[in-house]
Amino acid sequence: MAQILDGAALAAAIQHDVAEEVKQLAARGIRPGLAAVLVGHVPASQIYVRNKVQACAELGISSDLLTPPDRITTEEMLALVDQLNRRDDIDGILIQLPLPAHIDSKRLLDAIDPAKDVDGFHPVNSGRLLAGRPALAPCTPAGVLEILKRSHLPIAGQHAVVVGRSDIVGKPVAALLLHADATVTICHSKTRDLPSITRQADILVAAIGRPGLITPEMVKPGATLLDVGINRLTTREAFDRFFQGNAQREAAFAKRGSVIVGDIHPKAFEIAGAYTPVPGGVGLLTIAMLMANTVRAAKMRREP
Ligand code: NDP
């Protein structure tokens, strides 16, 4: 029977540790602070930011939610980032993506002080991560490593295959696995004969954005499967392809008209040694890792 890597339990354990660190900092008169910048009215972004601000409150981290008007220009946003870079009470700056199309997101993210870049997207942090220097690593990839470490799953010497090479997930997760002494293969859309590579994986990370692309035939029995993908299924046909006969999912589909599936076909989990479910796996660690990064940034700024 495969071990389920429970994202909620792991996130709670991380948040517990973060709260302890916050207490220790408080004893030294330090209170970590996060600034969250939200522009526009994307409902999912509003929920994410609300959850991040709430997590700060629960852990004793101060937060400042900034909601500039939709018509704000790139130049005005740059000025806002500059102010946040200078504020001593702010340790982490988070700009919720996506931004409205008229704002140059790349310029903005590059303007964040790398020491306050708690999303870990700044090229300085990407470079430091690759070079194996202390860096603020992107939250989802850092969460993937935390799952493996806290579940005491072996990494050193294992063959880790990462499917996906985005800057925010695939590449950083591959770098983190490499630094943890895994032998890492990175695959992408131009990879030839993907199944022959994924079948070699002791640890398989799927960060693709294609529902159930990794099928049971592509998985080595007993492998550890980490599914980063979040894909919403909205049609009956798509639902049946993954969850026909699954009463629990059927009820969820009937209620909401959609269900979430990862990049790994749920049938593949049956032959895994351990796996992260979707939902309830990797996705739940992202906010916990953001909190951990904020505390880390607060410490690193004071003890570089
Ligand atoms: P991107 O679209 O940026 O990258 C997808 C990657 O998958 C690319 O490298 C692409 O290759 C590769 N790919 C696409 N199709 C195939 C294929 N048929 N075979 C092999 N590789 C393929 O996505 P992200 O990295 O941003 O996100 C990936 C998934 O993770 C999404 O479902 C997203 O929603 C989810 N996600 C979840 C988070 C969480 O908190 N759990 C956070 C961030 C993302 P190429 O480079 O050649 O185009």
CATH for 209: 3.40.50.720
* CA atoms of 64 and 78, how far apart (whole Å): 17
Q: Does 80 reside within a domain?
A: yes
Tokens 């997207």 label which residue? 121
Q: CB within 6 Å of ligand 1 — which residues?
A: 140, 163-166, 168-170, 187-191, 194, 207-210, 213, 228-231, 282-283, 286
Which residues are annotated as catalytic? 52, 96, 119
- Pair (213, 112) in one structural domain: no
**What does the pLDDT read at residue 1?**
86
Shared domain for 255 and 147, answered yes or no, is: yes
pLDDT at 304: 62
The answer to whether the Cα torsion of 128, 74, 296, 181 is positive or negative is negative
Number of independent structural domains in the chain: 2
Q: Is 266 in the same domain as 240?
A: yes
Q: What is the pLDDT of residue 27?
A: 96
Structural domain that includes position 165: 139-283
- Distances in Å between the Cα of 266 and the Cα atoms of 142, 162, 212, 227 are 24, 18, 7, 10
Domain presence at residue 8: no
Confirm whether pTM is higher than 0.95.
yes
CATH number at residue 43: 3.40.50.10860
Does some domain include residue 143?
A: yes
Same domain for 85 and 174: no
Distance CA 20, CA 299 (A): 14
- Ramachandran angles phi, psi of 188, nearest 5°: -155, -170
Q: For residue 27, is it within any domain?
A: yes
Same domain (yes/no): 274, 147: yes
Nearest CA to ligand 1 atom 6: 164
* pLDDT under 50: residue ranges of the chain: none
The sign of the torsion formed by the CA atoms of 211, 40, 114, 31 equals: negative
Helix (H) or strand (E) holding 284: none
